[in-house]
Amino acid sequence: VSAITLSATQIQQMYVAGKEALNNKYRVKLASDTVNQLAGTTNIVKGVAAANEYIFTGTNGASADDGILSRTLLRGDVTDKTYDESTTDPVIVDNDINSVAVSSDGAYIVVGTDDQGITIIHNGSAANRLRSGAKVQGPSKRPSN
């Protein structure tokens, strides 16, 4: 709740986005009933970042590996891409996400995880690994004191 007044255009955009989600506008195109939902098995959001036409949302629950990084279109309210630790390209180092950051131009996404360090994703490229290996970038843990 905020004290900011919405313009008529903003209200109309919210109405249209909700109506399209209700009518499953993108279901045929994307062959999914879940395009308006965050990916993963939990809806506990731990990190959100936005740049250009996307919102990146990292989720994490109480169970191991129940979170995922979802990329949502700002103008369509549709989750069009997900990132996880095993089935996506690129992969992230761990599904237990606790923070998300994105560069102002949207070129780099940084995903922080509970115990496996960070992943840096170069967005928008087929060859989007910054370092070679099984993961996009190996764990970068804080030194223990």
pLDDT digit string (tens) for 50-79? 988 889 999 988 888 788 898 888 877 778
CA separation for the pair 143, 126 (Å, rounded)? 33
Greater confidence, 108 or 125? 108
Least confident of 23-27, 106-110, 138-142: 138-142
- For 15, the enclosing helix (H) or strand (E) is helix 8-22
Q: Strands 69-73 and 54-59: what pairing? A: antiparallel
Give the type of residue at 66.
D
Residue 84 pLDDT more than 70? yes
Distances (CA, A) of 4 to 7, 104, 134: 10, 25, 47
